[in-house]
Chains A and B, each alone.
Chain A
Amino acid sequence: MGHRILVVDDSPLSRILLKEMLTSLGHQVVGEAQSGEECLASYKELQPELVTLDISLPDMDGLTVLRELRAISPQARAVLVSGNDQKRVLEQAKLLKAPLVCKPFSPADLEKAVVQACS
């Protein structure tokens, strides 16, 4: 079953790649944001089921954004999408119960993470 997803990435290229991949996997991209502040505003407005969240954002890092999302909605679900898969970052992602998909990734990698985040 498809999910309503908000895509958050500062890179327009990544947003396009994610949007095409998620749509081809049967999901609905309900909005896009390119910064942490935009993500928080869009989340309140659009109430997506899931957020794909880049870690390197221009105003705050994705892990901080996820903590703020959880302050708004403790059930907020997210998939971290980043080139940063350092040990310390993976530990933080695990603590936040958010799977991390490392760039570059395949549609199968992304779908696996979406399923994990929504389970």
Chain B
Amino acid sequence: MPTRQADQWTANPESLRGRIAAYGDRHGRPLYAAFRGWVATRPRLARWLLAGPVAIVAGLLFTAAMPVWLPAGSAGVDGLVWSLVLGPLVWALALLYGVLEANLMRGFALFGAVAVLSALLIAGAML
């Protein structure tokens, strides 16, 4: 059976990737398991959070980061304009997705990824 590329990367426990993998095993997996368990026991509350504050925060961060990664256009202000104009549409779609997503963990993962990436872009632009 062929070894997966990721396994090869993390095979050496002394390497940086190996240490990150080991850290993830010690802290990340239990945290993920605990959150997954919490979502499973309180799906209704998790849904309210996903389609409410989580969707709003992720939508706001996504909108705020738009001028950073969108092209400025010939006027040099397109990134700002698209963000101004499309903001409410993004928020409405985020709320709709939060209500519709069948897999709550996938919803949290997607919103989390969007929020973290957007926050990194914003931090990079402000620093």
Chains A and B form a bound pair = no
